[in-house]
Amino acid sequence: MHTPPDIPPEQSLITYPAHFPIKVMGDNVEGFAEAIIELVRNFDPSFDAATLERRPSKAGNYMGLTVAVFVTSRDQLDEVYRTLTTHPMVKVVL
């Protein structure tokens, strides 16, 4: 896996702390959204599940979720992405 170079804080486009929107796609199956909510709450215990945005695919086979995760650093944001991408129910993280 390629590790991106460290970006100095003054060159980052993100000011921390921040609520950062992350799009997560997976199969449209029971328990997918709940699994993602649980995972996000490991990083952001204050995450409000009511803010989760759901978008089923046209054929209904996939579900797109948008979660706004409160992160305090680039390292934390990277760890959220790594954890999401390795979850067995997740197909794509943007």
Q: Do residues 37 and 52 make contact, with C-beta atoms less than 8 angstroms apart?
A: yes
Beta bridge partner(s), residue 19: 70
Give domain limits for the chain: 15-93
Burial of 40 (0-12, 13-18, 19+ CB in 10 A): buried
pTM value is 0.84
Determine the pLDDT at residue 2: 44
Picking from 21, 35, 30, 33, the residue whose alpha carbon sits closest to that of residue 66 is 21
Q: Do residues 19 and 68 make contact, with C-beta atoms less than 8 angstroms apart?
A: yes
Q: Do residues 69 and 80 make contact, with C-beta atoms less than 8 angstroms apart?
A: yes
Report whether CATH 2.60.40.10 matches the domain 15-93: no
- Local confidence pLDDT in tens for the 94 residues of the chain: 444 556 555 556 788 999 999 999 999 999 999 999 999 999 999 999 999 999 999 999 999 999 999 999 999 999 999 999 999 999 999 9
14 residue type, one letter = I
